[in-house]
């Protein structure tokens, strides 16, 4: 049975008993490593005391066990068997619930660290409150943890898919992506990004799924669209290549962690349901 995470907000008090810990040393989560694999730190009071946690936050419970997020000094030595690993590295090594809470904890800790001062008047903000909001006692400005929406769009034309490449990606290609601008719907953003980045016309824009992307605070919203007309004209300030690929001749694509990989694989399997495509993107 899958674990269940229940969020908690200030001024909630953690329940007594065992707790899961999410200590971050800079941008890396400290975990326990053993012959059985990687695991969250669970009720190791001696080890937790040794790493001298600060900025401790109660963020919720996993199956009734408190989840405690905290930060650790960069130079802090770790107990034997403990390692600090980036969230991307931990994908697939922690179960889905633990990994999701780790991403959530990292964002709330970052918000706590970066929201000490009011962006409106520069005064010292008040304490974290319900829904992690923070209000300035001087000018009453209210702020909340940022969530930055971005769209992904898989454009298909029969058995071909449009994939693009940016400098620094190595051999990997991915679907088009871009950040939502003020006053813009998600669908409007899809049309604008496609027009700006590759200069083609699309239709039948449909929602395909979403994914929190805590690197640092994005929400990726995925769409599919059908190619209508136009020749590819890549914006070379954004892309160094864009091309159509047949479903049977796809290039290297992003890792399974990403929504872009999942959208590409879902499209490919819709055309080739019995073909083994599992090695794609590795």
Please write the tens of the pLDDT for every residue from 188-232: 999 999 999 999 999 999 999 999 999 889 999 999 999 999 999
Cβ neighbours, 10 Å, residue 273: 8
Residue 206 CA, distance from chain mean position: 22
Q: What whole-number percentage of the chain has pLDDT above 90?
A: 92
Per residue in 139-173, pLDDT (tens digit) is: 999 999 999 999 999 999 999 999 999 999 999 99
Sequence-distant (≥ 6) Cβ neighbours of residue 33 within 8 angstroms: 39, 81, 82, 83
- pLDDT number for residue 282: 45
- pLDDT number for residue 277: 58
* CATH class in words for 148-271: alpha beta
Domain range summary for the chain, segments of one domain joined by +: 5-114, 117-145, 148-271
Average pLDDT, the chain: 95
- pLDDT number for residue 273: 86
Which H or E run includes 43? none
Beta strands at 218-229 and 148-157: parallel, antiparallel or unpaired: parallel
d(CA 245, CA 136) in angstroms, rounded, equals 52
Q: Which of 74, 148, 151, 71 is nearest to 112 (CA)?
A: 71
d(CA 29, CA 105) in angstroms, rounded, equals 10
- pLDDT number for residue 276: 61
Q: Which of 222, 238, 213 is nearest to 148 (CA)?
A: 213
Beta strands at 19-25 and 28-34: parallel, antiparallel or unpaired: antiparallel
Q: Residue 259, preceding bond cis, omega within 30 degrees?
A: no
pLDDT of 2 over the 90 cut: no
270: left (phi over 0), alpha (psi -120 to 50) or beta: alpha
- Rounded to two decimals, what is the model's pTM? 0.90
| Poorest-pLDDT segment among 1-5, 25-29, 93-97, 106-110 | 1-5
Per residue in 76-107, pLDDT (tens digit) is: 999 999 999 999 999 989 999 999 999 999 99
5-114 domain in CATH 3.40.50.720?
Answer: no
Sequence-distant (≥ 6) Cβ neighbours of residue 185 within 8 angstroms: none
- pLDDT number for residue 133: 97
- pLDDT number for residue 278: 56
Structure tokens belonging to residue 83: 């390692």
Sequence-distant (≥ 6) Cβ neighbours of residue 88 within 8 angstroms: 215, 257
| Poorest-pLDDT segment among 175-189, 216-230, 266-280 | 266-280
């Amino acid at each position: 049975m899958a674990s269940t995470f229940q969020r908690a907000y200030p001024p909630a008090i953690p329940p007594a008993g065992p707790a899961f810990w999410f200590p971050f040393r800079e941008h890396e989560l400290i975990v326990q490593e053993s012959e059985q694999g990687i695991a969250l730190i669970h009720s190791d009071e001696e080890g937790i005391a040794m790493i001298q946690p600060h900025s401790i936050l109660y963020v919720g419970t996993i199956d009734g066990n408190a989840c405690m997020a905290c930060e650790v000094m960069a130079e802090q030595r770790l107990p034997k068997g403990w390692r600090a690993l980036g969230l991307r590295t931990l994908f697939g090594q922690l179960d889905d619930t633990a990994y999701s809470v780790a991403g959530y904890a990292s964002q709330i800790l970052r918000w706590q660290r970066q929201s000490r001062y009011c962006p409106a008047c520069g005064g010292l903000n008040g304490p974290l409150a319900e829904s992690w909001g923070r209000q300035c006692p001087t000018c009453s400005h209210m702020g909340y943890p940022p969530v930055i929406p971005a769209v992904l769009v898989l454009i298909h034309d029969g058995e071909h898919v449009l994939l693009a490449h940016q400098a620094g990606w190595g051999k990997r290609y991915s679907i088009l992506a871009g950040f939502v601008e003020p006053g813009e719907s998600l669908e409007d953003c899809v049309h604008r990004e496609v027009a700006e980045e590759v200069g083609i016309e699309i239709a039948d824009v449909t929602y395909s799924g979403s994914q929190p992307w805590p690197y640092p605070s994005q929400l990726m919203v995925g769409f599919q669209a059908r190619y209508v007309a136009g020749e590819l004209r890549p914006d070379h300030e954004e892309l160094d290549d864009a091309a159509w690929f047949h479903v049977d001749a796809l290039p290297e694509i992003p890792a399974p962690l990403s929504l872009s990989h999942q959208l590409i694989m879902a499209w490919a399997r819709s055309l080739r349901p019995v073909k083994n495509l599992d090695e794609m993107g590795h």
